Amino acid sequence: MTMDLRLFIIFFLFLPFVAEASIIVQILPEKEVFQFAKDNVSVNISVTNQDDSELVNLTIHSILEGNCTPWIYQERLSFEPNETKNLIAHNFPLKEYDPGGRCTVIAKVFDDEGKVLLIQEKSFEVAGTLKRVKSEIAISSDPAGIGQRYIFVKGETIFLTMQSNLKPNTSSLIYPDGTVRDINLPEMILADAPGTYRVVLSYLEEGYISINSSKTFSVIDRPGVKDNLSHEGIKTRSCEEFLGLDYLRCYLVLAALIATVGIVLFLRKKVQRR
């Protein structure tokens, strides 16, 4: 292989890197740490064409990621030889419920065919914002809170549990008659009065957004069926007592019987019409 051919191959292999190196991108946050209630997040992007020729139809794309409000900036620009443009990519006030912490700006430069020419990243911090409370109340017939339920039958045992990143300042149960009782989750209660109940958790911790987390459930009377004997002295008995099954199976059987009777009556009428 001749020396000229080797030089040509080396030049060809490094040509893309030379083209990319002709563009310089600098991400310039106004501060390293932005404080809530004092600062606006302000990030400029400086793009320089180091080439001696014009660069046309370049797309400057910037996205804000991490613990900040998502923010996208995009602009299509052309550059004269050795020209620098300073772009205001991100500029917005902080909100109290912004997550806070480390934020990252990712800037990309695309050519007119959509090829990525350059990628740059720069991070900064956001401080002083309030943290969010994550709270989920579970109402179940299972002590571990497995299987959410919203309707219970009078006499059932109800388990109240929660999952939260913060301990509530107050926890209370509001009864159907309006009575309020302080509780400490996890809690077990007996559904002894029909009506609507409400579980309320209040969070008032410094550094967190204050919220009330609540969930309701209902307790209904257990339905009963009378024995079909009309002799004097026969007492009303519940479905379970009458059929000798548990509550759920009892009413599944009753539903199946009703459906069967309906089908038989329908078929009988259909045969009579013929």
- Could you report the per-residue pLDDT of 40-78, keeping only the tens digit for each? 899 999 999 998 899 899 999 999 998 888 889 999 999
Per-domain residue ranges for the chain? 18-127, 135-220
pLDDT for 96 equals 75
Q: Which residues does 166 contact at the CB level (< 8 Å), separation at least 6?
A: 133, 134, 135, 203, 205, 208
Domains 18-127 and 135-220 share a fold: yes
β-partners of residue 247 are none
Express as a percent the part of the chain with pLDDT over 70.
78
pLDDT recorded at residue 226: 41
* Superfamily designation of domain 135-220: Immunoglobulins (2.60.40.10)
List all residues 6 or more positions away from 268 whose beta carbon is below 8 Å from its beta carbon: none
Does 269 score more than 80 pLDDT? no
How does the average pLDDT of the chain come out, rounded?
A: 81
**Is residue 129 a contact partner of residue 98, using CB atoms and an 8 Å limit?**
yes
Per-residue pLDDT at 224: 54
Rounded to an integer, what distance in angstroms lies between the CA atom of residue 55 and that of residue 47? Answer: 12
**Lowest-pLDDT range, 45-59, 184-198, 235-249?**
235-249
Mean per-residue pLDDT for 237-244?
53
Q: Please tell me which residue, 231 or 97, carries the higher pLDDT value.
A: 97
Q: What is the pLDDT of residues 78-129, one digit of tens each?
A: 999 999 999 999 998 887 777 788 999 999 999 989 999 999 999 999 988 8
Number of Cβ within 10 Å of residue 244's Cβ equals 8
Task: Tell me the mean pLDDT in the region 6-28.
Answer: 57
pLDDT of 50: 92
Neighbour-count burial of 68, counting CB atoms closer than 10 A to its CB (0-12 exposed, 13-18 middle, 19+ buried): buried
Q: What pLDDT is recorded for position 250?
A: 62
The burial class, CB within 10 Å (0-12 / 13-18 / 19+), for 153 is middle
| pLDDT score at 151 | 92
Question: What's residue 39's pLDDT?
Answer: 85
Tokens 């958790």 sit on residue: 201
> For residues 57 and 97, what is the distance between their CA atoms, to the nearest angstrom?
38
Residues 18-127, CATH architecture: Sandwich (2.60)
Does the pTM surpass 0.85? The reply is no
